[in-house]
Structure 1
Amino acid sequence: MQRMAGVVERRSIDVVPDAERHGRAFSQFTLWLGANLQITAVVTGALAVVFGAPAFWAVAGLLLGNLLGGAVMALHSAQGPRLGLPQMISSRAQFGVRGAVVPLALVVVMYIGFFASGSVLAGQAVGELTHLGDTPGIVLFATVTAVAAAVGYRIIHALGRVASLVCAVAFVFLGIRLLERADLSGLLAERAFSFPLFLLAVSLSASWQLAFGPYVADYSRYLPRSTSARATFWWTLSGSVLGSQWSMTFGALAAATAGPAFVGHEVSYVVGLGGAGLMASLLYFVIALGKLTINVLNTYGGFMSMVTGVSGFRGQRELGPRARAGYIAVIMAAGTAVALAGKDSFLTSFKDFLLFLLTAFTPWSAINLVDYYLIARERYDLPALSDPHGRYGAWRRRALAVYGAGLCVQLPFLATHFYTGPLVDPLGGADISWLVGLAVPAALYWLLCRNDTAHIPERTVLAPPGDRGPAPEAAPVTAQPPG
């Protein structure tokens, strides 16, 4: 029992003390490699070809998008060892202790949605593996996800290590089987270039990476404070880009090879590449394992975001096991209900809904990174992040105004089935809302807030004065963004 208690995470949104820090930056590589070697990334890559891009330019566009979006995501990851905090709580430095609830509310909805869409695909694999059918498979998968998320940080990284190895072997095998069917030279020989379709491929993969931004530092915050920001950045970037590009390239080539036989039948097509019998069962297990890794990340990130939002109004309190389980149960119940409702016909529309909500991530990401790296220069007063009457206040109106503007400027460039902006057609149907949502808020926030430095301490404050003596402080920094 004592051993189990040591595995279950005690921390939630509080600062991780130096005495509890452990691990190496390389852990970020295995975690994000395993999280991206999975079926939804395969489907995302296939969409670039389904929408009309030749395989060559689809793969090139997906790579560019993964690199661009992955760089933004990895800049957030580098904040984890420095601050020792979950990602979204640092938003209080920009938006205020209570103002941060605005992006948080949208983030929670997004991760419930990701939980649901992932549960549908994994539920199909679990249903086939157990011979119980889709509905019991979804419920069983959701339950295992919730238990793993409740245990917390250590099991999440353990899952990442296992998934990175198992899924890598499986994808090598599947890639070989796909190449036996595909005329690779013929697929890559088609080089007709369409800028809108190329831009669409870039947007698909960039949006995929940007969606990790609101919780990526949750999984690097236990690293020792001395961990190099550059090491955290590069290991996160390389793991996420390698895993996602590997999966997406497989999806693009599979869609180009199989055509209509792939679309809508992704799980069965992938399993069919391996054959029947025992191999099919193993591949169903691999699909479920890959989805489990990312769904646990979504559930854990949603839990952290809910606690952060609530504590801004009720005060920061220590969470016991029951309270932790309660928050996670809410996410599991909501996500499972949506998955069961949409497992037959709702997923296409729901995917559009999720992409629409991605517009909430990009302006938040731009504001957070500009403030942290360029204005505050990594100097935050961590105790003040819990005090609405402290240095950061309850609401920071300039940041909220920039965030609102960042949402609005994306709408003309947004392309979904239920809403298409007026500037999408001139771009050939490409959705570049993510690019606009990064650039415009970043520039606006810099112009409006670069001289608003009264709330920035001279150095990072790690603990409140009077907490076991004078407040320990980090050394002054003049660091630039890692890279």
Structure 2
Amino acid sequence: MTNHQPDQPGTPIYGSSVLRTEPFATEEIPTTERHGHPRQQFTLWFAANMVLAVLVSGFFSSLFGLSVIQGLTAVAAGTLVGAIVMGLLAGIGTKLGVPQQVQGRGPMGYFANFVPIALLTIISAIGWTAVNTVFAVIALQTLIEVPFWIAAAVIFAVQAVFAIWGHNLIHMINKVATVVLAILFAVITVLSFQKVDFAVGVNPEAPFYMGDVAGWLTFAGFFFAYVMTWTPFASDFSRYLSPKTSHTKVMAYTAGGSFAAMMWLGGIGVLVSSFAGELDAIPALAELTGTWAPVAMWTVVLSTLPVSAMNLYGGSLSLLTIRIPVNRIVGVIVIAAASLGVTLLMQTNPYGSFYDFLLILAYLVVPFSTILLLDYYLRMRKLGRIAVDQLFDTRRGIEWGFVAWVLACAFSSLFWASTLYTGPLSSVFADFGDVSYLAGAIAAVVAYLAFRPLPALSSLFGRKDTELEYAN
């Protein structure tokens, strides 16, 4: 069994200090180190989602031929469902005191959890950091003459320092960024309204038009998927809160911050989509803001720093979760170096094939997060101390949750509608748009509940004890 940090008496060595580098990684956070207020989750996730990628996602509304009302309601619905899932998962972090990646060991098993973590968190962290950094560098190049690779390297250095310094500094930076970005994006919002056409109606001639219902559901799925790609990191930034913290409050603040930011920028994207959807992201923003374009470009650069720091931080915890022999600081450097490489490769096309690949990762995230929620509420919550101990028990190598996840992903793939892969049943429900997420969630529920009455899977491979029998 791998050692972890149980509750220890004494004076905190980290506490709420922003002057100290975070000393903890994937181990359980001791009670003496627990601190913070759930409202910090609002500013954290608000700043994390105040990025150009959300605004650009709103541009797709006109490409699907949606009216303004259809576009806005799709953004609201997709974001809200994803944000609630995010909030529920973040609340689990306060109870268990470990990152979301480690929590996956509960239903998946210690070693089987390596697969979803490698796919869903490490690759996602590298990819999304690259996407956001490409936008930042392109924006910076409109302000000053600088080679792409130099600008990218400098931005990554700043992001990496934030991530290395750790949890408390990231929360503080996002608190400041919430105010700064809200002011800057408020300016962009006012300027953007000069291009708004509230009279835009349904357009059957749009490039991606697939009908009112199908287009609405697919567009809503964009925003749902965006939020869901954050869910494997949800507890990374809530695990320092006291275990007595209200789960409801953590959920509400987390969901509220995510929803407010994405509804704001996604909504603006919808309102200007008939104009901006015809342009690349940075030129579109420049056109929207006119003489204020320099302010908009600096906003893009600054908005990248907090979100990318969070991705690098979560990516480093993921490396440790799958037992890559590095510490958290080296892990940040490894993830940053890999992401810098991807950034240089995709510098001219941030929303190219890699973005499509990240969309497929979202298909895989939905069953994973569904199973995590089911396992916590149906099994782990009642176990108390045993639940945390199990997360560090290497003898629980593979559990039924992993099998359920694989089956759910396989079933979901039958309905995938991506430029990289189209499932054989994707056309069956074409009138309802992309149903892959729903298929994955339903399959995960059915598979998990089907396996739940069975003896623990690890017990079938030689381990039989009362703890496992009780835990299952």
Please indicate the TM-score interval, normalised by the length of the shorter structure. 0.7 to 0.9
Among 255, 278, 302, which residue is 1:289 paired with? 302
Q: Is the 8 A contact 1:73 1:209 kept in 2?
A: yes
Q: 1:234 to 1:4 in 2, by over 3 A?
A: closer
Residues in 1 aligned to 2:453 and 2:57: alpha-carbon distance in whole angstroms: 38
Shift of 1:345: 4.2
- The one-letter code of the counterpart of 2:420 is F
Residues in 2 aligned to 1:350 and 1:387: alpha-carbon distance in whole angstroms: 36
Among 414, 417, 422, which residue is 1:415 paired with? 417
Query: In the alignment, what sits opposite 1:112?
Result: 126
- The one-letter code of the counterpart of 2:449 is W
Residues in 2 aligned to 1:407 and 1:172: alpha-carbon distance in whole angstroms: 40
Shift of 1:259: 4.2
Residues in 1 aligned to 2:167 and 2:430: alpha-carbon distance in whole angstroms: 43
- The one-letter code of the counterpart of 1:214 is P
Instruction: Count residues in correspondence.
Output: 438
Does 2:283 align with 1:268? yes
Shift of 1:378: 5.1
- The one-letter code of the counterpart of 1:325 is I
Q: 1:105 to 1:258 in 2, by over 3 A?
A: closer
Structure 1, residues 1-40: CA drift from partner, whole Å, max 9, x if none?
x999843111100111111111100000111111111101
Residues in 1 aligned to 2:239 and 2:38: alpha-carbon distance in whole angstroms: 11
After TM superposition, the score normalised by the length of structure 2 is 0.87
- The one-letter code of the counterpart of 1:399 is G
Query: In the alignment, what sits opposite 2:353?
Result: 349
Does 2:373 align with 1:373? no
Q: 1:9 to 1:125 in 2, by over 3 A?
A: same
Residues in 1 aligned to 2:145 and 2:18: alpha-carbon distance in whole angstroms: 34
Q: Report the secondary structure of 2:414's partner residue.
A: helix
Of residues 85-94 and 49-58 in structure 1, the stretch that sits farther from structure 2 once superposed is 49-58
- The one-letter code of the counterpart of 2:352 is T
Residues in 1 aligned to 2:392 and 2:39: alpha-carbon distance in whole angstroms: 31
Residues in 1 aligned to 2:443 and 2:107: alpha-carbon distance in whole angstroms: 16
Among 230, 252, 265, which residue is 2:248 paired with? 230
Identity %: 27
Query: In the alignment, what sits opposite 2:317?
Result: 304
Pairing of 1:31-50 with structure 2 (within 5 A): 31-50=44-63
Runs of 4+ in 1 over 6 A off after TM superposition: 2-5, 456-459
Q: 1:31 to 1:425 in 2, by over 3 A?
A: same
Does 2:452 align with 1:449? yes
Residues in 2 aligned to 1:39 and 1:362: alpha-carbon distance in whole angstroms: 24
Q: Is the 8 A contact 1:48 1:200 kept in 2?
A: no
Q: 1:282 to 1:456 in 2, by over 3 A?
A: farther
Gapped runs of 5+ residues in structure 1?
Answer: 460-483
Q: Report the secondary structure of 1:7's partner residue.
A: coil
Residues in 2 aligned to 1:70 and 1:386: alpha-carbon distance in whole angstroms: 29
Q: Report the secondary structure of 1:425's partner residue.
A: coil
Q: 1:204 to 1:91 in 2, by over 3 A?
A: same
Query: In the alignment, what sits opposite 2:271?
Result: 253
Of residues 96-105 and 418-427 in structure 1, the stretch that sits farther from structure 2 once superposed is 418-427
Gapped runs of 5+ residues in structure 2?
Answer: 1-13, 205-210, 457-465
> What is the alpha-carbon root mean square deviation over aligned residues?
2.4
Query: In the alignment, what sits opposite 2:4?
Result: none
Structure 1, residues 285-341: CA drift from partner, whole Å, max 9, x if none?
211121222111111111111101116xx7xxxx7xxx3332111111111111111
Query: In the alignment, what sits opposite 2:390?
Result: 384
Residues in 1 aligned to 2:367 and 2:352: alpha-carbon distance in whole angstroms: 25
Shift of 1:191: 9.1
Residues in 2 aligned to 1:53 and 1:425: alpha-carbon distance in whole angstroms: 21
Shift of 1:93: 1.3
After TM superposition, the score normalised by the length of structure 1 is 0.85
